Structure 1
Amino acid sequence: MQTMHAMNDLRRIDLNLLVILDALLSEQHVTRAAERLHLSQPAVSHALARLRDLLGDPLLVRQGGGLVPTARAQELATPLADALAQVQSLLAPNRFDPTSAKRTFRLAMSDYGAALLLPGLVRRLREFAPGIDLQIIHASREGMVDGVLSGELDLAAGVFPDLPGELRSTPLFEEHYACLVDRASLPEGGVLDLPTYLARPHVLLEMRGSGTPEIERALTAIRERRHVAISLPHWGIAPQLIEGTDLILTVSSQGLLNIDTQRLLVVPPPFHIASFGFVLAWHKRRGGDGALQWLIEQVEGVLAKRVG
């Protein structure tokens, strides 16, 4: 009897409404959700009205210039994303054909990760999977993890020392730190010693909720501190601040491979900083998504070729 009731309930529900609800909860904006789904804004607004009536809850309420999910909507977000992922996996063809596939993936990474990954990945996609589109999201480590957990993100590339149990990951490469200095600012021989490192000002790359705790932990271990003269969230501009100054930039070594070595010098830190793994993370519920698994393989291939 319960099964019959459940079947009758399902017949009353247009499953497309759940896809629209998932997009609305992710975007928290009717227009952006409509663009993501390739629907008109009135169609999404009408669907939201039907969802409110069906679930007996406002789901999204206006606040400022956007929509904020209600407590009920927040409760629904994760199980809804899980359910849609399972349905997609169930209905997906056994074999993924990249040459004919039409799909948009949302990837999170820093501009450091983007510089390493995107040029090679985009070339692969244009050659082998021209129907695959990418949306790149810039977020802190915590923001990336939260996005993958909620289903808003498909993949996150970065440094994640403690991933939640719901997430899966694959190591892309092992990374270590290096220091970038103006060549003329060091004595002949180009050796950066610890007294010089501590005496000079530093550039810190830091996003809100992120930063480089590995460096600070290493300094704390030797009971030392550094003076940060400039803190900024953008990787790309940081090396340009070093030339002609006494500043020191301590960063992941892979980001310094294309530095102009006529004026700038890459040297080892004068104290031990633990190496770390750069990984690609996704939700375990996406294990049956052949398209996503194919994309993961492409990312692995790009970085294996570059870093190997």
Structure 2
Amino acid sequence: MADLDLNLLVALDALLREGSVARAAERLNLSAPAMSRTLTRIRTALGDPVLVRAGQGLVPTPRALALREQVRAVVRDATALLSPGTPTAPERLTRTLTLRVNDGVIPLLGNALYQRAREEAPGLTLRFVAEGTEDVESLRDGEVDLDIGVQGALGPEIRVQRLGEEPSVCLVGRASALAKGRMTLERFARAEHVVVSRRGRLRTPLDAVLEEHGHERRVTAVVPNLLAAAALVARTGALAVVNGGFARAVSTLMPVRERPVPLPLSPIVVAQVWHPRFDRDPAHVWLRRTVKALCDEPRRLLSP
């Protein structure tokens, strides 16, 4: 890679990430013809096609695959080295910070965090992106600054800070018959259930707990996110099992209310995670401290 300058390495990294000239061009704010010319220069410098056509798309060559991690590391380190120093005072910060959250966190935390940013760090832009693969690589590369939610398996170097925990509750429409009277296990099991699953799964761990108590439930709808579940139960006689913090927050926005789940369910633990290379970055420090402080406010967000 001796003949590749930093700009070509950045372009090569984008091409290997996207597997598409058009998407790589969009990533780098270039035109597609300019990116095509850059790919030609990269091919000449490496003496390798780098990307070859396969059906309707492009796939990397073995040489490109072998270089991918090395290129990514060089670009990441060079970007960090050449980035200008960040002012430490929050009011002087001018950055875009990317937070990966599920839609349940937005009504729970988004408004308060937005207001705090406007008051203390008005130069910051908060970019909320939806959960997807939840890959650790996006934290390592800085594509995601902070991940907030229920955390799964993480890389050994990833920092984790517990924000709090919430019980599971039933979310029902205020006009629903389920909003009145005692929520017994039999009544809960007989109700129409709306399941939240990004992957469209009908069955969740709740079904196993129900079966242990001699009951089954009927799932009548599956939706991809919590807000969709709330919107659905608001006007129907169905219920959805959600975390208590989300139920409290969404009940101020929609005609819904929370009811207890008549089962012993483990609380939902929420944490924020980030890569240690941002441990001392002033913008990241402000963001993490602010998120934690907001979550520690009694019953406003997550209850510790």
Give me the TM-score of the superposition, normalised by structure 2.
0.78
2:128 corresponds in structure 1 to: 136
Gaps of 5+ in 2: none
Q: 1:269 corresponds to which letter in structure 2?
A: V
Q: Does 1:155 align with 2:146?
A: yes
RMSD (CA atoms): 3.5
Quote how far apart the aligned CAs of 1:271 are.
0.5
Contact 2:50 2:63 in 1 (8 A): yes
2:161 aligned residue (165, 170, 173):
170
1:110 aligned residue (77, 93, 102):
102
Q: 2:147 corresponds to which letter in structure 1?
A: A
1:145 corresponds in structure 2 to: 135
2:188 aligned residue (181, 185, 197):
197
Q: Does 1:239 align with 2:230?
A: yes
2:15 corresponds in structure 1 to: 24
Q: 1:13 corresponds to which letter in structure 2?
A: L
SS in 1 for 2:104: helix
Gaps of 5+ in 1: 1-8
SS in 2 for 1:145: coil
2:291 corresponds in structure 1 to: 299
1:219 aligned residue (188, 199, 210):
210
Contact 2:172 2:179 in 1 (8 A): no
Quote how far apart the aligned CAs of 1:14 are.
1.2
The CA distance in 2 between the partners of 1:272 and 1:159, in whole Å, is: 19
- Structure 1 segment 8-47 matched on structure 2, within 5 A: 10=2, 12-47=3-38
SS in 2 for 1:198: helix
Quote how far apart the aligned CAs of 1:38 are.
3.8
Q: Does 1:119 align with 2:111?
A: yes
Q: Which runs of 4+ in 1 moved over 6 A?
A: 209-212
The CA distance in 2 between the partners of 1:41 and 1:100, in whole Å, is: 36
Contact 2:158 2:276 in 1 (8 A): yes
The CA distance in 1 between the partners of 2:277 and 2:151, in whole Å, is: 19
Per-residue CA deviation, residues 39-89 of structure 1 (Å, 9 max, x unaligned), is 444443333322233334433344566544445444544444444333344
Quote how far apart the aligned CAs of 1:149 are.
5.7
Q: Does 1:208 align with 2:199?
A: yes
Q: Does 1:267 align with 2:225?
A: no
The CA distance in 1 between the partners of 2:289 and 2:121, in whole Å, is: 13
2:247 aligned residue (256, 260, 267):
256
1:5 corresponds in structure 2 to: none
Quote how far apart the aligned CAs of 1:255 are.
1.2
Contact 1:147 1:153 in 2 (8 A): no
Q: 1:117 corresponds to which letter in structure 2?
A: L
Change (3 A) 1:295 1:247: same
The CA distance in 2 between the partners of 1:210 and 1:297, in whole Å, is: 36
Per-residue CA deviation, residues 82-117 of structure 1 (Å, 9 max, x unaligned), is 443333444455654454555444432221123333
SS in 2 for 1:156: strand
Change (3 A) 1:289 1:182: closer
Quote how far apart the aligned CAs of 1:288 are.
5.7
The CA distance in 2 between the partners of 1:289 and 1:211, in whole Å, is: 42
Change (3 A) 1:104 1:77: farther
Give aligned-pair identity as a percent.
Answer: 35
Q: 1:250 corresponds to which letter in structure 2?
A: V
The CA distance in 2 between the partners of 1:135 and 1:187, in whole Å, is: 36
Give me the TM-score of the superposition, normalised by structure 1.
0.77
Per-residue CA deviation, residues 155-206 of structure 1 (Å, 9 max, x unaligned), is 3222113323243222222122110224541485x32111111112200010
